[in-house]
Amino acid sequence: MLEEPTIKFGTDGWRGVIAEDYTFANVRRCTQGFALYLLQKGWAGRDVVVGHDKRFASEHFAAAAAEVLAANGLKVWLTDGPTPTPVIAYAVVDKQAVGAINITASHNPPGDNGFKVRDPHGGAIDPEGLKQIEALIPGSEGVRTMRLAAAEAQGLVRKFDAAPAYIENLKQLVDVEAIKAAGFKVLVDAMWGNGGGWFPSLLAGGRTVVEEIHATRNPSFPEMRRPEPIQPNVDVGLRTTVERGADVLLITDGDADRMGIGDENGRFLNQLQVFPLLALYLLEIRGQRGPIVKTLSAGAMLEKLGQLYGVPVHETGVGFKYVAPKMVETDAMIGGEESGGYAFRGNVPERDGILGNLMFLDFMVKTGQKPSQLLERLHAKVGAHFYDRVDTLFPTEQRESVRQKVAAFRPGGVIGGYTVERIDTTDGFKFVFAGGAGWVLVRFSGTEPIIRVYCEILDQNRVKAVLEDGLKLAGLR
């Protein structure tokens, strides 16, 4: 018998290549590990939510997970169709469940699928909890399962629509009626994912007009490399924004937990601009106060906003497994990461691309300004910062040698013409430049065989040079 692979959870759950390592057998093994984790906590007989995205066979993988949970005596709320990740997360709280399984690979390439787990708050499980789940994942012989029809007949699996409860909560968090009445022309790029249909439905019946592209199910994700809300994946949406004369482009990724924004001129507002824009909206327009939680890759404009408005800014490692627990601990006003995922107080501590996009629209309503003007408003307060990121595939067997090359760099050295003042090794290697000039971060992806180099500096003309030097540090140039 072939030896079964060891399953490791990365930045946000486990992901793999469909039919290679992401198989029904391995999904069932993961589910059994999660079931044992819940049972060890004394939650036998409690409710668990299971949902999925629109990737290849996701609904069938979700059904397999439900069968395993039911066989372990847990009661399952199984979504009746593809459901955005934030909606699944809210269902955990609404159903008073002890956790969730979400079958999604989020923004990964078309051939991948994934397995995310969530805690009773609807947020990501912390790193220690993920280690416990990993340790409990058995071989296939240790998996309990039962047929879905039998589980439904016994009342152990109940299919449901998670949308109504989520929408009711959404309307408490943002003024949807004001957006409907604003008369905007909104273009939505759903990236062939779970966000399709949501904004036309939420904003119907008023003066605002919503048009969509890439809104149906297509697991091969045409016209983009992957359903990740960054360029070049969003370039078709940006061009279409100008062609149709839209006021704004709203983007949701494959499972609708991440978001992106294009302005009225077809220019992409990057993640390190959108995060502080949303924070500014909460601070200045909504008058909220409270901590900001950011990953170390999420940018300096947030720190400057924190100083201006007298709110603390907490920095974590990359991933919501760090952000979500810190948000709960500090009652944070907003939390987020460089990848375009942002969470908000009053909601569950989970990234929410639907709520985030609606808040951006409300920012436009309350100020009477278009996206380009909102960016100018932000820069007037904290100055212009320039950001970019390069992702490079590398052979996994070279991971340690690459890490050692980067680790050999010392403060006082120069990257892209900037002197490095200090090095933060919380998650990867963040080289902070002297005099507040900016930073570059080199780290391994937690979900793919990719090394990422991120950069944020005050001089737009030197961004490429800094990124190139970051790649040279890793021996990839």
Give me the mean pLDDT over the 252-278 stretch: 97
The rounded distance, in Å, linking the Cα atoms of 446 and 388 is 19
How open is the CA angle 333-335-339, to the nearest 5 degrees?
155
Whether 174-382 and 14-161 are alike in CATH topology: the answer is: yes
Over residues 321-347, the pLDDT tens digits come to 899 999 999 999 999 999 899 999 999
Torsion sign, CA atoms 227, 228, 232, 236: positive
Rounded mean pLDDT of the chain?
95
Residue linked to tokens 């300004």: 369
Query: Quick one: pLDDT at residue 224?
Result: 97
Q: From the DSSP assignment, how many helices (H) and strands (E) are in the chain?
A: 16, 21
Verdict on whether the full-model pTM lies above 0.85: yes
Give me 49's structure tokens. 């939510």
CATH of 14-161, one of 3.40.720.10, 3.20.20.70, 3.40.50.1950, 3.40.120.10: 3.40.120.10
Residue 140 a catalytic site member: no
Q: What is the DSSP string of 124-184?
A: BPPHHHHHHHHHH---GGG-----HHHHHHTTSEEEE--HHHHHHHHHHHS-HHHHHHS--
- As beta bridge partners, residue 113 has 16
CA 161 to chain centre: 22
CA quadruple 131, 135, 139, 140: dihedral, nearest 10: -50
> 2: pLDDT confidence band, cut at 50, 70 and 90?
low
The rounded distance, in Å, linking the Cα atoms of 180 and 184 is 8
Contacts of 444 (CB under 8 A, 6+ apart): 399, 403, 428, 450, 451, 452
Give me the mean pLDDT over the 1-29 stretch: 88
Query: Quick one: pLDDT at residue 477?
Result: 67
- Whether the predicted pLDDT of 1 surpasses 60: no
Which CATH architecture does the domain made up of 386-473 adopt? 2-Layer Sandwich (3.30)
Superfamily of domain 174-382: Alpha-D-Glucose-1,6-Bisphosphate, subunit A, domain 3 (3.40.120.10)
Over residues 416-428, the pLDDT tens digits come to 999 999 999 988 9
- Whether the predicted pLDDT of 445 surpasses 90: no
- When computed from its CA atoms, the radius of gyration of the chain, rounded to whole angstroms, is 22
Contacts of 452 (CB under 8 A, 6+ apart): 389, 390, 391, 392, 428, 441, 442, 443, 444, 445
Query: Quick one: pLDDT at residue 99?
Result: 97
Q: Which one is predicted more confidently, 247 or 126?
A: 247
Query: Quick one: pLDDT at residue 4?
Result: 87
**Which residue of the set 106, 140, 372, 445 is catalytic?**
106
Q: Where are the domains of the chain?
A: 14-161, 174-382, 386-473
Contacts of 279 (CB under 8 A, 6+ apart): 292, 302, 305, 333, 334
Query: Quick one: pLDDT at residue 5?
Result: 86
Give me 229's structure tokens. 């809300």
Give me 172's structure tokens. 């408490």
Cis peptide preceding 86, ω within 30 of 0:
no
- Whether the predicted pLDDT of 89 surpasses 50: yes
Give me the mean pLDDT over the 7-27 stretch: 91
Share of the chain above pLDDT 90, in %: 87
Give me the mean pLDDT over the 431-442 stretch: 94
- Whether the predicted pLDDT of 200 surpasses 60: yes
> 319: pLDDT confidence band, cut at 50, 70 and 90?
confident
Query: Quick one: pLDDT at residue 399?
Result: 84
For the stretch 166-174, contacts whose Cβ atoms lie closer than 8 Å and that sit 24 or more positions apart, written own/partner, are 166/86, 166/87, 166/90, 166/91, 166/94, 167/202, 169/90, 169/94, 169/347, 170/202, 170/354, 170/355, 170/358, 172/346, 173/344, 173/346, 173/347, 173/355, 174/355, 174/358, 174/359, 174/362
Over residues 345-378, the pLDDT tens digits come to 999 999 999 999 999 999 999 999 999 999 999 9
